[in-house]
Amino acid sequence: MQPVQQSLEFLEKLAASGPVATLAAAFAEAGHELSLVGGPVRDAFLGRAITDLDFTTDATPDQILAIVTPISQAQWDVGRAFGTIAARIDGESVEITTYRSDEYDHKSRKPEVSFGDTLEGDLRRRDFTVNAMALRVPELVLVDPSHGMDDLVAGVLRTPGTPEVSFGDDPLRMLRAIRFSAQLGFTVSVDAAVAISEMRDSIGIVSVERVNDELSKLLKTDAPRRGIELLVDSGLAELIIPEIPALRLEADEHHHHKDVYQHSLTVLDQAIDLEKSRHPGSPPDLVLRLAALLHDIGKPATKRNEPGGQVSFHHHDVVGSKLAKKRLKALRFDNDTIAAVGRLIELHLRFFGYSDGAWTDSAVRRYVRDAGDQLERLHILTRADVTTRNRRKADQLAFAYDDLEDRITTLAAQEEMAAVRPDLNGEQIMAILGIPPSRVVGEAYAYLLEVRLDEGPLSEQQATERLLAWWAARSEG
């Protein structure tokens, strides 16, 4: 957290420029209160970048719309029933919401929306004290009825009222506590942590889409491990993504780690580090992070106790891929994400045969072909999966993968390998063999692709000769 005086100076500058000043003047002229609220105020004191401008006011939605229309370039009725109007002012998007004093039906997380009449009342109904601070504009008065500043200084997530009431009102707040813990590096207060554990079953009334959103936001934080551990320790993971806590039951086959669960968290940490170093400035890669977290979930189902006290997990890559796709489908992830994560998990062990002996160019081509557009993610996942404490072995694996990447680069430059195709297309195959479109064309295409992968590029004449030889052998058979 940065010094309070520095934060206040930042807020003063924010309030005096751009859409904040424009809005403050317009609401004051109309005789209504306006305050910057929640995340922007919190992040200003934490020295974090402010990405959203959220306001609250005593004006009704109709009054908000009337005030902002003359001063904005666009308006969106994003949530009139909930009191929220969005607008674009001075090139920035803002949201303004009427004071709320909702009552919740505990059979669902949908509140009976009631508009309030005081800023303090609105703040006390918010999720956490650090999000329940507001800056009145243009007066520049900090309003903090729940002592959020004290919790901000202490790095604690606490609910404005009792956590049982807060989480009972909206069980999604349990997941938000976990996500904010990772995002802000804060500790969840003891009473809130206990309440999450005791009330975890109520997450069932939250829509799968909202659970997906919070889980995705958690994984996109800079350091999600803290949140995942809290998700597991609280028992919530059992209800949302049970394959993760199941990993705690298994020791890995090399006995290098306490359990596969801790190994998976370490792989996630290392994948994020590699993601940032290889692609600085890029947005968080959710597909890569899901694959890193889930890459070993096939181990519990494939565990075998071998002679001599060894443990094996044969085919856990294939089994894990199927389990991951099933879980991600249940969590309503999109089809592209599901397919990409499944593919990465299925392929994550492929490299480890490379270090045992030199791969042929054909094997390298197949590695690239099978990875397809997931090759860069597979590079990162495979490197991150090396968590051995044996420095010599870790160095050997790193050098081996460096060599593999160098070979891929060299072959790609020589052959444009990213788009490996047979040397003859379907129309050429039909013309050469004198056959119409049929399954046989596909078989011929697959044969030529195997030749291409084994031997590299052929001339059209060479490919034609190989095709005719294949056709003759097939006809004789």
Q: What is the CATH number of the domain that holds 253?
A: 1.10.3210
Q: What is the pLDDT of residue 253?
A: 47
Among 386, 404, 419, the domain boundary falls at 419
Question: Which long-range contacts does 432-437 make (Cβ < 8 Å, 24+ apart)?
Answer: 432/464, 432/467, 432/468, 433/467, 433/468, 433/471
Among 240, 270, 305, the domain boundary falls at 240
Q: What is the pLDDT of residue 326?
A: 98
Task: Give the burial string for 225-247 (b: 16+ CB within 10 Å, else e).
Answer: bbbbbbbbebbbbeebbebbbbb
Structural domain of residue 90, as residue ranges? 4-150
Same domain, 290 and 183: no
Give the chain's domain count.
Answer: 4
- What CATH number corresponds to the domain at position 11? 3.30.460.10
Same domain, 354 and 381: yes
Count CB neighbours of 283 within 10 A.
Answer: 7
pLDDT one-digit tens code per residue, 8-56: 677 777 777 788 999 999 999 999 999 999 999 999 888 888 888 999 9
Same domain, 113 and 80: yes
Same domain, 310 and 408: yes
Same domain, 295 and 379: yes
Same domain, 62 and 163: no
Q: Which residues contact 244 (CB under 8 A, 6 or more apart)?
A: 228, 231, 232, 237, 261, 264, 293, 294, 297
pLDDT one-digit tens code per residue, 233-288: 999 999 999 999 999 865 544 444 458 999 999 999 999 999 999 999 999 999 99
- What CATH number corresponds to the domain at position 183? 1.10.110.30
Same domain, 312 and 346: yes
Rounded to an integer, what distance in angstroms lies between the CA atom of residue 124 and that of residue 161? 7
Q: What is the pLDDT of residue 252?
A: 46
Instruction: Quote the mean pLDDT of the chain.
Output: 88
Same domain, 132 and 189: no
pLDDT one-digit tens code per residue, 429-460: 999 999 988 889 989 998 898 888 888 888 99
Same domain, 103 and 62: yes
pTM of the model: 0.81
Cβ–Cβ under 8 Å, residues 390 and 419: no
Same domain, 64 and 189: no
Among 370, 387, 419, the domain boundary falls at 419
Same domain, 66 and 144: yes
Same domain, 219 and 345: no
Low-confidence ranges of the chain (pLDDT < 70): 1-8, 102-113, 249-258, 354-357, 414-420, 477
